A and B are shown apart, each in its own frame.
Chain A
Amino acid sequence: MGEYILEMRNITKEFPGVKALDNVNLRIKQAHIHAIVGENGAGKSTLMNILSGVYPYGTYEGDIIVQGEICRFKDIKESEAKGITIIHQELALIPTLSIAENVFLGNEQTGKGLIIDWHKTRQKAIEMLKKVGLNENINTRVMDLGMGKQQLVEIIKALAKDVKILILDEPTAALNDEDSKNLLKLLIELKNQGITCIIISHKINEVVEVADEITILRDGTTVETLCRDIDDFSEDRIIKGMVGRELTSRFPERNRNIGEVCFEVLNWNVYDPKDNTKQVIKNVSIYARRGEVVGIAGLMGSGRTEFAMSVFGKAYGKNISGTIRKDGKEIIMHDESDAIVNGIAYATEDRKSAGLILIDDIKRNIVLPCLPKVSKRFVVNENEEIKIGEEYRKKLKIKSSSVLQKTGELSGGNQQKVVFSKWIFSEPDVLLLDEPTRGIDVGAKYEIYCIINELAEKGKTIIMISSELPEILGMCDRIYVMNEGRIVGELTAEEASQEKIMQCIMRSNKEVM
C-alpha cells in the first residue's frame, strides 16, 4: 500500500450518452513523474478533473485513495487540502497583479485577522522564486512576463500551497523549446524534493525524456502503464498504444504535382499597429507554386503569424507596403473579405479565440466566410446550409452528434477540422495554415496532414507555418526560414534538416549583432 501515494480505482464517469471513463485504474508512486498520454477525447482531462474535485464525489464511480485513505472530494478546496493541485492549460493568473500577489492569491499571508502581512508575503515570495530559479522582481506584473515565466509562477503558486501531487495539463503546449526544457528540468528537480508530478502531454518526446512511468488511455480505458527501464519506452511504442495500431508513417505520402508559380509576395514590409516605429516584417519576398506545400519555419516571435495575417487582407499591422501577385497579376486587398474573394484563406493558430465561433454550431461556422454561396440575394438557404455542413462533416470525419452541435463542445482535432471545412468551402487557391496541428493528438494530426496533402494534390497552394520542425520537414516541398521578421534562408525538402534550419537562424542572429 505504502508504495503508492495515489491510487484511482475503477473510475467510471458517464456524461449523458457517453461513457467518458470506463473502469480506469491509475497508480502513482511517491516522488515520481507520471505521464498520462492519450488522444484527444481519451479521457485524460476528465480523469484529472475527478482527481482534483472539479467533478465532485457522487458524479462518478470508483475510489480515489490518497496515501492509503479513501477521499471523497466535494470541490477543489478539499483536494487542495490533501496537497493535490492542478495547473490547467489556460493559466489561472490575474495578469494585472504582481507575481507575489498571484502566488499567494487565495492563500494570503495574513498577520492578524484579514489584514495582509506584506512583509511576510514578499519575503516568502522571494524565497519561492529562488527555489524554482525564476529570476524576476516579485513586483513585476504577470502580464509583463512571457508564457514560460507565467507557467513558473503557476508552479510557485502550487508550491506555496504545500503541494504533494502536482498535476500539469499540457504544461509546454504554449512554450518555446527553451522554456519547455527549463520547465522539464524544474519538474525533475521538484521530484528530487519529493513532489509527485502528473503530466498530461501531447508532446511524446518530452514525456519520454522526463517521465518515470507512463499510463496510456484510449477511449476512456487504461491501455497500459509503462515503466522506465522495464518496458520499451520509445516514442513509436507509446504512439502505438495510443492509437491502437502501428502508424507506419507519421506523415502521409503525397503525389507531388507541382505547377506554375501561383502566389507571390514581394518586398513586404509591416509595422506594429501599436508602435509605428517598430517594423515587424522587413522586406520579405516569397513565392509558392500550385500544388506546392511551402513551410515557414522559425522561432516563436519571429514574425511568421504577423506575416501571414498581414498578407491575408491586412488583418494585422500598419503602414503595410509591398506587392502581392496571384497568377502573375497584382491583387490589392483592403480587408479580410477582399482576401477571401481573391481566393486566399488563413486558418489561424488560435482556433478557440479567433478561428471559430464557439457558441455557434458546426454548419454556421463552416458557411460563415462564404455565405453568398448558400444564399440567394441576401437570404440564406438554411436547408442548403445543413446539407453542406453534413457533407463536410462526413468528408473530414468530424466527430460530432450532428452539424447542429456547438463547436465549443468539440475536441481540438475536430475543431480544427471545422476550421479546415470552413476554408475549403470558400474554395481558395492559396491556403495560409498557421500551426495547423497545434494541441492536436497524433491520430488527428495524421488526418489533418492527409487533408493538406489532398488539397495540394488538387492544385491548391499551401503555405504552412509550424513550430514543430519534424512536421515542417515531413510535409513541405520547400521551406523558408524566418527570423526577426526577415527571411533568412530557403531550403528544398531534400537539403533541409533540423540542424540546417537552426543554422540559418543562428547565422542571422550573428549578422544582426
Chain B
Amino acid sequence: MKRLDVLLRGNLRQYVMIIALVVVIIFFQIITGGILLSPLNISNIIQQNAYILILATGMLLCILTCGNIDLSVGSVAGFIGAISAVFILKMNMPVFPAILISLLIGVLIGVWHGFWIAYVGVPAFITTLAGMLIFRGLTMVILQGTSLAPFPKSYTFIAAGFIPDISNIEGINLLSILAGIIASILYILYELKDRASKKRYNFEVSSSGAFSAKIVSIVAVINAFTYALARYKGIPAVLIIVVSLVLIYSFITTKTIPGRHIYAYGGNPKAAKLSGVKTKKVLFWVYVNMGFLAALAGIIFTGRLNSATPKAGNGFELDAIASCFIGGASTTGGIGTVVGAIVGGLLMGVLNNGMSIMGVSIDWQQAIKGVVLLAAVAFDVYSKSKSRAI
C-alpha cells in the first residue's frame, strides 16, 4: 500500500494529465455532438499531431538532460522538408533514397548541435537558438522564397496514407481489427510475464482482481480505438511510426543503460560523471537523436501539407516543449517520461481539434493553449510544495 502511495506521489502530474485528457475528450465529445470521436476525426487527430508527438519525444530527452531545450527543431523540420522537396521535385531523385538522405542530413544537423553543446560547451539554449536562425535562413535560401509542390503519392503516403486492407469487406477494415487483437494479446503477454517475474523475486504484486481490471480496461481502450479506425479507412501509416517511436523510446528511457544514464545526468551531472557515466557522450547523442527526429517530423509535416514552404515548422519547437512540460517533465532535468510528453502533446492536439470543430479561431486557440500550459505546471509546483510542507 505504501509503495502505491509513493508511486502515486511521484507520478502525480502524469496521472492527473491522463485524467485531464479524458475529461477534455469527454467535454468536446459532448459539445461537438460526437464529432470529436467519430472515426474520421480520430484519424484526423492522429495525422494532425503526429509531427508534434515525434518532436516531443526527442525534446523530452533534451529536457531530461538538465532542462536543456532544443529551439531549432521547427527550423530543422522545415529545412529537411525543403531539402527533400529539392531532391524529389528538382533533382528527380526517387522518393525512398531522397527520404533516407534527408534523414541522414537531419542526423548530421544533430551532430553539429551536439558537437557545440557537448564538446565545446556552448549552452544548449544558444546553440539551438543559432540553429533556429541558421536553418530557417537556409530553408528560405534553398526554396528561393517559394513553395515546392506537389509531391508524388509515395511521399505523402507516410503522412496522409492508410495501410491497405487485407480483405474487401464493405465499411470495415479487417486489418485494423486484427491489429487491435494482436496488440491486446502482446500487451497481455507482457503483463503476465512481468507479473510472473515479480513473483519469482517474491515481490508484492497487485491483487489478481485489480490486475485483471487493469488488463480488461486497457484491452478495451485498444480495441475501441482500432475499431473506430476500422470504420474509416483503417490504420494511418503515420500511426505505425508514432506508436513504434513511443514504444522504442519508452523502452530505451525506462529499461536500458543509456536511458539510465540520461536520467542520471539530468539528476546530477557531477555525480553521474563520478559514477562513470560518459556525460559528454550522453549529451551529444541526445542532440543527434533530436536532429533525426526533427528530420522525420519535417518529412511527415511536408507530406501532410503536400508542399514544402519557407515557413514550414514555425513554432513547432514551442509546441514540443509545452507538450513535455504539460506531461510532467521538470525544468531542471532528470524528471519526465516519454508517455507523459505524448499525453501532453495529445492534450494540446485534442484541445486544438475540439476548438476547431467548435469554430474557435486560431488566435483564441493559441491563448487557451498558453493557459493550459501555465495551469499544468502551476498545479505541479503547488502540489509539490504542499507535499513538502506536510
Contact = CB atoms under 8 A, between A and B. Distances in A.
Q: Do A and B bind each other?
A: yes
B262 to A, nearest CB: 12
A379 B201 contact: no
A131 interface: no
B272 A357 contact: yes
A16 B390 CA distance: 7
Contact of A360 (B203, B255, B267, B389): B267
A16 B278 CA distance: 39
A54 B254 CA distance: 37
Interface residues on B, range: 20 to 34
B256 A368 contact: no
B3 A368 contact: no
Contacts of A218: none
B169 interface: no
Nearest to A356: B271
A364 interface: yes
A353 to B, nearest CB: 6
Per DSSP, chain B at the interface is helix
A180 to B, nearest CB: 27
Per DSSP, chain A at the interface is mixed
A220 B275 CA distance: 35
Interface string B247-264: 000000001111111011
Which of B259, B271, B335: most chain A Cβ within 10 A? B271
B256 A340 contact: no
B256 A357 contact: no
Contact of B257 (A354, A359, A371): A371
Interface stretch (A139-147, A149-157, A232-240, A382-390): A382-390
A402 B278 contact: no
A316 to B, nearest CB: 10
Interface string B163-205: 0000000000000000000000000000000000110110100
Given A364-B260, A380-B256, A348 B274 contact: yes
A355 interface: yes
A372 interface: yes
Contacts of A384: 201
A312 B259 CA distance: 24
B214 interface: no
B2 interface: yes
Nearest to B270: A354
Given A357-B264, A378-B258, A402-B6, A383 B274 contact: no
A335 B267 contact: no
A379 B6 contact: no
A382 B193 CA distance: 13
A286 B277 CA distance: 28
B277 A357 contact: no
Interface in A389-407: 401-402, 404-405
Nearest to B259: A380
B146 interface: no
A356 B268 contact: yes
A192 interface: no
Contacts of B153: none
A346 interface: yes
Contacts of B389: 59
Interface in A324-372: 335-337, 339-340, 346, 348, 353-360, 364, 368-369, 371-372
A382 B276 contact: no
Given A368-B264, A371-B260, A315 B6 contact: no
Contact of A337 (B197, B198, B277): B277
Contact of B201 (A336, A337, A364, A387): A387
B334 interface: yes
A422 interface: yes
Nearest to A375: B257
Contact of A315 (B3, B255, B273): B273
B259 to A, nearest CB: 8
Contacts of B7: 404
B267 A357 contact: yes
Contacts of B260: 364, 368, 371, 380
A320 to B, nearest CB: 16
Contacts of B272: 357, 368
Given A359-B267, A380-B256, A369 B390 contact: no
Interface string B131-175: 000000000000000000000000000000000000000000000
Contacts of B270: 353-354
B2 A402 contact: yes
Contacts of A356: 268, 271
B275 A369 contact: yes
Contacts of A313: 276
Nearest to A335: B278
Contacts of B390: 15-16
Given A360-B263, A380-B256, A383-B201, A354 B276 contact: no
B309 to A, nearest CB: 40
A354 B278 contact: no
A336 B276 contact: yes
B277 A368 contact: yes
Interface string B194-229: 000110110100000000000000000000000000
Interface in B305-347: 334-335
A358 B3 contact: no
A197 to B, nearest CB: 29
Nearest to B333: A359
B274 A353 contact: no
A369 B260 CA distance: 11
Which of A337, A368, A387, A402: most chain B Cβ within 10 A? A368
Given A368-B275, A378-B257, A404-B3, 17 more contacts: A312-B274, A313-B276, A335-B276, A336-B275, A336-B277, A353-B268, A354-B270, A357-B268, A359-B335, A364-B264, A380-B255, A380-B256, A383-B197, A383-B198, A386-B201, A401-B6, A405-B6
Which 4 A-B residue pairs are closest in the complex by CB-CB distance? A357-B267, A337-B276, A354-B270, A369-B275
Interface of A: 15-16, 59, 312-313, 315, 335-337, 339-340, 346, 348, 353-360, 364, 368-369, 371-372, 375, 378-380, 382-384, 386-387, 401-402, 404-405, 422
15 contacts: A313-B276, A336-B276, A337-B278, A354-B270, A354-B274, A356-B271, A364-B260, A369-B275, A371-B260, A375-B256, A375-B257, A382-B255, A383-B203, A402-B2, A404-B7
